[in-house]
């Protein structure tokens, strides 16, 4: 038996990581500006993170949700306080797809409706309903196809108004579109979604799986618009590499036994990882750090004539070129030893580094990027 071939892979085997750097088995050091799809939020092998994980592993790593797990309460309290959602409840799961799947299910339980509005270029996961709400036909199998989902243009308030009615169950939108090429919903558009959901009794779901946990310069990207969704989904940076996901749930939703469930969600190790991440973000002021470093990097990139557009907030950055960026991405990796990310927009390079990326390392990337695009 061998692994199922689902990804094109770089011929690199990593064996060590620290901060914003990773090393391969040949001893080559790489600057990591992708963090494994925005997962590494507080840096590789952060000492506090490693200490907490080791300590928890030595006590108890796992038991199911058939017993009380006090760490879940600690995590919920910290997450509520740091995010500003203290009156919400937290359902813990293992991934962003699961979080979105459960959020959509909660919405339908709540208003007993089926129709979902999503947006062009969206990505919400690869499981049944999450992938149906993802605007990529290549990864939607026939069994996932449903007539319950309609895709609308991002930031088109008129189109949204036209499709909203009493049959809409939920509107799901990313705080910043990640896979789609780092497209930011306008504050006016998010406000329109909130108003129309209130008007028609629909549920507003903010997918903050990639854009949450301080990456945008606020705890959640939607907080720039000063709106409060009914459900917020999180994952990726939540566990800094350990699989953790969750749904922040408005008090308007009534919990009932059997409504949601999970075997692994909220286990001891997952909670230890997530609590450590929140403590590091708070103690090291990483949200402010992401804002400062991200603003610096975007300002410098916008001065390069070969760059068509720079989009994003904080350390969630999309660099659109006038041509496909795959060759540039390969050069950054092979020549300069810098990991970056791609997107479904073939011209857009994605940067999703750890929130504690230093200005010196940001400059290192900028100089390498500038050198390559000038050739």
Average pLDDT of the segment spanning 112-134? 98
Instruction: Please state, for a pLDDT cut of 90, what percent of the chain lies above it.
Output: 99
Domain residue extents for the chain: 48-283, 285-373
Q: Which CATH number fits domain 48-283: 3.90.1150.10, 3.10.290.10, 3.40.640.10, 3.40.50.2300?
A: 3.40.640.10
Residue with tokens 């310069």: 217
pLDDT in tens, 309-353: 999 999 999 999 999 999 999 999 999 999 999 999 999 999 999
CA 354 – CA 290 distance, rounded (Å)? 8
Secondary structure of residue 321 in the 3-state scheme:
strand
Q: Is the pTM of this model over 0.95?
A: yes
How much is the pLDDT for 375?
85
- 200 near 168, Cβ under 8 Å? yes
Q: 246-257 burial, b for 16+ CB within 10 Å, e for fewer?
A: bbbbbeebeeee
Return all residues near 328 (Cβ < 8 A) that are at least 6 apart.
Answer: 321, 349, 369, 372, 373
pLDDT category at 38 given cuts 50, 70, 90 is: very high
Across-strand partners of 170?
116, 203
Taking alpha carbons only, the member of 130, 214, 208, 215 closest to residue 174 is 208
Task: Please compute the mean of the pLDDT values over residues 31-55 and round it to a whole number.
Answer: 97
Find the mean pLDDT for residues 84-104.
Answer: 98
C-alpha R_g of the chain: 20
Residue among 344, 342, 355 at smallest CA distance from 313:
355
- Which residue matches tokens 């799809």? 37
- State the average pLDDT over residues 186-191: 98
Q: What is the share, in percent, of the chain residues with pLDDT greater than 70?
A: 100
Q: Across the chain, what does the average pLDDT equal?
A: 97
CATH T-level assignment (fold) for domain 285-373: 3.90.1150
pLDDT tens digits for 246-260? 999 999 999 999 999
- DSSP secondary structure, 12-47, as one string: --EEEEEBTEEEETT--EEEESSHHHHT-SS-BT-H
How much is the pLDDT for 303?
96
Q: What is the largest CA-CA distance in the chain?
A: 61
Query: What's the rounded mean pLDDT across residues 23-33?
Result: 98
- Sign of the CA dihedral with 25 first, then 27, 30, and 35 last: positive
Per-residue pLDDT at 186: 98
User: Is the distance from CB of 48 to CB of 185 less than 8 angstroms?
Assistant: no
């Amino acid at each position: 038996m061998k692994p199922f071939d689902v990804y094109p892979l770089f011929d690199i085997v990593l064996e060590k990581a620290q901060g914003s750097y990773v090393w391969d088995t040949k001893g080559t050091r790489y600057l990591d500006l992708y963090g494994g799809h925005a997962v590494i939020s507080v840096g590789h092998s952060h000492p506090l993170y490693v200490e907490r994980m080791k300590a928890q592993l030595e006590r108890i790593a796992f038991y199911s949700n058939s017993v009380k797990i006090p760490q879940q309460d600690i995590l919920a309290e910290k997450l509520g306080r740091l995010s500003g959602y203290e009156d919400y409840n937290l359902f813990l799961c293992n991934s962003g797809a699961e979080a979105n799947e459960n959020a959509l299910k909660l919405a339908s339980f709540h208003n007993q409706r089926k129709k979902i509005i999503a947006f062009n270029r969206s990505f919400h996961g690869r499981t049944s309903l999450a992938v149906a709400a993802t605007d990529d036909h290549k990864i939607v199998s026939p069994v996932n196809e449903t007539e319950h989902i309609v895709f609308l243009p991002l930031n088109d308030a008129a189109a949204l108004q036209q499709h909203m009615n009493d049959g809409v169950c939920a509107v799901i939108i990313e705080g910043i579109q990640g896979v789609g090429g780092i497209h930011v919903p306008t504050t006016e558009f998010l406000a329109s979604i909130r108003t129309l959901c209130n008007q028609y009794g629909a549920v507003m779901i903010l997918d903050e799986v990639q854009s949450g946990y301080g990456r945008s310069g606020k705890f959640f990207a939607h907080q720039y618009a000063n709106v409060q969704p009914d459900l917020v989904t999180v994952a990726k940076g939540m566990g800094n590499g350990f699989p953790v996901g969750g749904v922040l749930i408005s008090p308007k939703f009534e919990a009932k036994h059997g409504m949601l469930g999970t075997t692994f969600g909220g286990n001891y190790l997952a909670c230890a990882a997530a609590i450590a991440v929140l403590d590091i973000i708070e103690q090291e002021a990483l949200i402010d750090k992401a804002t400062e470093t991200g603003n610096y990097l975007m300002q410098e990139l916008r001065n390069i004539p070969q760059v068509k557009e720079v989009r994003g907030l904080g350390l969630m950055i999309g660099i659109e070129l006038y041509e496909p960026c795959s060759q540039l991405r390969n050069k950054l990796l092979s020549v300069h030893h810098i990991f970056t990310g791609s997107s479904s927009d073939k011209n857009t390079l994605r940067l999703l580094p750890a929130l504690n990326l230093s200005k010196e390392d940001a400059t290192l990337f900028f100089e390498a990027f500038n050198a390559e695009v000038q050739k």
